[in-house]
Amino acid sequence: MDFRFTEEQERFRQEVRDFLHRELPSDWPFNGRLAEESDEWWDFTLSWLRKLGGKGWIALTWPEEYGGKGRPLMDEVILSEEMAYRRTPGVQVWARWKMVAPIIMGFGSEEQKRRHLPGIAKGEVTWCEGFSEPGAGSDLAGVQTQAIEDGDNFVINGQKIFTSLAHRADYCFLAARTDPDAPKHRGISMFVVDMKAPGITIRPLINIVGSHHFNEVFFDDVRVTKKDLIGEKNRGWYYLATALNYERSGVTLPAMNKRLIEELARHAKETPGNGGMLADDLMVRQKLAEMAIENEISRLLCYRVAWLQSKGLVPSYEASMSLLFGGELIRRIANTGMEILGLYGQLTKKSKWAPLRGTIEHLYLSSLSAGIAGGTNEIQRNLIAILGLGLPRG
Q: Which helix (H) or strand (E) holds 116?
A: helix 110-121
**DSSP 8-state symbol, 133:** B
Convert the pLDDT of each residue in 344-375 to its tens digit: 999 988 899 999 989 999 999 999 888 787 77
Amino acid found at 39:
D
- The CA distance from 1 to 7, in Å, is 17
Domain with CATH 1.10.540.10 in the chain: 7-125
Looking at residue 89, what is its pLDDT?
84
Looking at residue 311, what is its pLDDT?
85
Looking at residue 26, what is its pLDDT?
79
Closest of 55, 29, 56 to residue 44, by C-alpha:
29
- The CA distance from 348 to 352, in Å, is 9
Convert the pLDDT of each residue in 239-256 to its tens digit: 887 776 665 557 888 999
| pLDDT for residue 382 is more than 90 | yes
Full-model pTM: 0.89
The topology (CATH level 3) of 248-388 is Butyryl-CoA Dehydrogenase, subunit A; domain 3 (1.20.140)
Among the listed residues 81, 247, 318, 361, the single catalytic one is 247
Assess whether 247 carries a catalytic annotation: yes
Q: Which CATH superfamily is domain 128-234 in?
A: Butyryl-CoA Dehydrogenase, subunit A, domain 2 (2.40.110.10)
| pLDDT for residue 114 is more than 60 | yes
Domain with CATH 2.40.110.10 in the chain: 128-234
Convert the pLDDT of each residue in 90-103 to its tens digit: 876 776 677 889 89
The hierarchical CATH code for the domain 7-125 is: 1.10.540.10
Looking at residue 350, what is its pLDDT?
85
- Cβ neighbors of 116 (< 8 A, separation 6 or more) are 100, 104, 108, 125, 171, 192
Convert the pLDDT of each residue in 127-179 to its tens digit: 999 999 998 877 888 999 999 999 999 999 999 999 999 999 999 999 999 99
